[in-house]
């Protein structure tokens, strides 16, 4: 049964236990099977994905599961999550939702993602009734519009057409998104020497999404883990072939409504790396210059095997 929130954009899946289903779009990825009132199952997009489950996909699916148990009048304003174990992209993920609290203005949910009886991911999310109040925001940096920014094909074509497995996955139909780096992507920049720990990236989904705000919030959550930690490699001129990156904990705050199928600028910076860990922060702006979300992630950096 397809949840009413995404009925206009997702197809209903008739799942067969033990048979892998491969979603064909991001809407499909977010179209979870409801097993019970607070129990859901999601599937990997597969494609050219390397041998672990993409963390943003798990986070997006977990947030969809949480949102399906909350009144549609309440929108998510924050999530905090921990990546506990690598997920297997060849297997479904089961999401168990705990209804922590439903107050007059706020609802809190906890979601545990499980594969083969082991918890791989944990998320807490808060939903609220939007109110009125004072407003201010850090301005959007001055960057070229996405139409004037090079595509991944442009960047990697000049580099001989080769790219990392993650970059190849970005360009598959299963990934279902467009990514445009304002500056040279970190994987290529490592060859040019150190630079500031900052990168600006335009993102939007490849397909039109339903109008439901929850779908757009979950699509941005999906994108929030994309190549984020590589920002911390820029000052050291190292690539993912030399340094292994793993997400540890992740947080997103949603400030204003937005559409993930329209261009969003991710302005990323890494203020510190120490003790094998790195912190990366990001502000997300819509094309009108409005700050719509903020992201923070700590990750593990260690020599690649």
| Catalytic residue ranges | 225, 247, 297
Whole-number Å distance between alpha carbons of 296 and 279: 7
Any idea which residue has 């970190």 for tokens? 186
CA 67 to each of CA 92, 127, 229, 302: distance values in angstroms, whole numbers, following the listed order: 19, 8, 27, 35
Any idea which residue has 């148990």 for tokens? 69
Question: CB–CB of 298/248 below 8 Å?
Answer: yes
Question: CB–CB of 176/249 below 8 Å?
Answer: no
Side-chain half-sphere of 108: how many Cα atoms within 13 Å? 5
CA 281 to each of CA 53, 251, 284, 295: distance values in angstroms, whole numbers, following the listed order: 22, 10, 10, 6
Question: CB–CB of 204/147 below 8 Å?
Answer: no
């Amino acid at each position: 049964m397809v949840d009413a929130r995404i009925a206009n954009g997702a197809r209903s899946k008739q799942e067969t236990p033990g048979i892998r289903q491969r979603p064909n779009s991001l809407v499909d990825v977010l179209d979870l099977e409801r097993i019970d009132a607070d129990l859901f199952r999601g599937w990997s997009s597969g494609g050219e994905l390397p041998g672990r489950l993409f963390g943003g996909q798990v986070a997006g699916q977990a947030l969809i599961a949480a949102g399906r148990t909350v009144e549609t009048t309440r929108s998510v304003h924050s999530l905090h999550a921990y990546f506990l174990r690598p997920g297997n992209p060849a297997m479904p993920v089961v999401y168990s939702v705990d209804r922590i609290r439903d107050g007059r203005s706020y609802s809190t949910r906890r979601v545990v993602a499980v594969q083969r009886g082991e918890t791989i991911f944990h998320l807490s999310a808060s939903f609220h009734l939007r109110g009125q109040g004072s407003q201010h925001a850090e301005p959007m940096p001055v960057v070229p519009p996405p139409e004037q920014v090079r595509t991944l094909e442009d960047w990697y074509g000049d580099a001989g057409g080769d790219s990392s497995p993650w970059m190849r996955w970005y360009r598959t139909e299963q990934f279902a998104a467009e990514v445009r780096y304002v500056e040279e992507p970190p994987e290529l920049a490592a060859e040019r020497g150190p630079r500031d720990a900052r990168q600006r990236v335009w993102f939007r989904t490849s397909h039109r999404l339903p109008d439901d705000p929850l779908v757009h919030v979950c699509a941005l959550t999906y994108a929030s883990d994309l190549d984020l930690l590589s920002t911390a490699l820029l000052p050291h001129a190292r690539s993912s072939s030399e340094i292994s990156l793993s997400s540890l904990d992740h947080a997103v705050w949603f400030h204003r409504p937005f559409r993930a199928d329209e261009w969003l600028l991710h302005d990323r910076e890494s203020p510190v790396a120490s003790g094998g860990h790195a912190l990366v922060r990001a502000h997300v702006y819509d094309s009108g210059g409005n700050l719509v979300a903020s992201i923070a992630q700590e990750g593990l950096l260690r020599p690649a095997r």
